[in-house]
Amino acid sequence: MKLQVLGCDGGIGGSAQRTTALRLDDDILIDAGSGVGDLSLDALAAIGDVFLTHAHLDHIAFLPLLIDAVGERRRRPLTVHAPEEVLAALRQHIFNDAIWPDFSRIPSPAQAFMRYRPLAVGEAVVLGGRTITALPVAHTVPAVGYRIDSGRASYVFSGDTGPGPAFWQAVEAIDNLAALIVECAFPDRERALAEVSRHFCPTLLAEALALLQRPCALYITHLKPGLADQTMAEIATVLAARQPRRLAKGMTFEF
Ligand SMILES: [Zn+2]
Ligand SMILES: [Zn+2]
């Protein structure tokens, strides 16, 4: 199984910055931020399932454009997996025939370009031997993280989250955990903003990671453009023992 980083920045601001999107093999997306826009038409058409962590724009912005670009080229609908509250937000605020067409009814309700599949926290979806499980996180809106399990190893992606014990308990229980990709949106001088927007800053992340005994590789994602170097330097100090690495667009993991 191959996991490729299409985008992992906490915003835009340059030709190298792309918001969150991960591609699992050729056919699954985890989030659909602006990183999706670098895929070719053929690569876009190969996407069959999209798992969303939450409905914030930096994680869904390119989903409407993806469906529009390749809906007619696909033989079966694109399936969008997410908690019911996230799907409801998409229906109400994006695919509402005002911002964007309701592609769950186009070209016809019986043979639509996309379909919604609600996913409960803790629920696992198995697609071609790959198991994707929604994990509890704590953000300002309904959100989940995901465990991606090849059968041999698991990678965990936090999506957007601030402190909360449920996520760490769920990660601790993963016996084949290989890596954790966790967000850290802000540097420590913006700790108050991190707390109110329910993101991590380095000291909050270090406090949370103290709850995780299980060893694993640690990758940092969702750094704010312009503040990324500073934030990573702070993380390197407070989490030195875990040898954190910065996630980067183009990285590919085989597991
Ligand atoms: Zn968010
Ligand atoms: Zn975000």
- Ligand 1 centroid, distance to 111 Cα (angstroms): 32
Would you give the end-to-end CA distance of the chain in angstroms?
6
- Ligand 1 centroid, distance to 226 Cα (angstroms): 18
Bridge partner residues of 218 (DSSP) = 180
Region 15-20 average pLDDT:
95
Cβ-count burial of 152 within 10 angstroms (0-12 exposed, 13-18 middle, 19+ buried)?
Answer: exposed
Q: pLDDT confidence of 214, banded at 50, 70, 90?
A: very high
- Across the chain, mean pLDDT equals 97
Helix (H) or strand (E) holding 78: strand 78-82
From the CA of 59, the nearest ligand is 2
The rounded distance, in Å, linking the Cα atoms of 55 and 90 is 7
Cβ-count burial of 255 within 10 angstroms (0-12 exposed, 13-18 middle, 19+ buried)?
Answer: middle
- The packing angle between helices 228-238 and 202-209, to 10°, is 40
- Ligand 2 centroid, distance to 78 Cα (angstroms): 23
Region 186-214 average pLDDT:
97
Give pLDDT tens digits for 6-16. Answer: 999 999 999 99
- Ligand 2 centroid, distance to 19 Cα (angstroms): 8
CATH of the domain at 82: 3.60.15.10
The rounded distance, in Å, linking the Cα atoms of 184 and 162 is 9
- Ligand 2 centroid, distance to 108 Cα (angstroms): 33
Of the candidates 1, 13, 15, 17, the residue with the CA atom closest to the CA atom of residue 221: 17
- Ligand 1 centroid, distance to 109 Cα (angstroms): 31
- Ligand 2 centroid, distance to 57 Cα (angstroms): 7
Total domains present in the chain:
1
How far CA 226 is from CA of 145, 171, 191, 244, in Å, comes to 25, 30, 16, 19
Domain around 93: 2-254
- Ligand 1 centroid, distance to 250 Cα (angstroms): 22
Percent of the chain with pLDDT over 90: 99
What pLDDT does 145 receive?
98
From the CA of 143, the nearest ligand is 1
What share of residues in the chain are helix, strand, coil (percent, to 5)? 30, 25, 45
Give pLDDT tens digits for 115-164. Answer: 999 999 999 999 999 999 999 999 999 999 999 999 999 999 999 999 99
From the CA of 141, the nearest ligand is 1
- Ligand 1 centroid, distance to 107 Cα (angstroms): 31
DSSP state of 218: E
- Ligand 1 centroid, distance to 171 Cα (angstroms): 20
The rounded distance, in Å, linking the Cα atoms of 132 and 46 is 18
- Ligand 2 centroid, distance to 142 Cα (angstroms): 12
Helix (H) or strand (E) holding 131: strand 130-136
Q: In sequence order, what are the residues at sequence separation of 6 or more whose Cβ sits closer than 8 angstroms to the Cβ of residue 49?
A: 27, 28, 29, 78, 79, 80, 81, 125, 127
From the CA of 54, the nearest ligand is 1
- Ligand 2 centroid, distance to 98 Cα (angstroms): 24
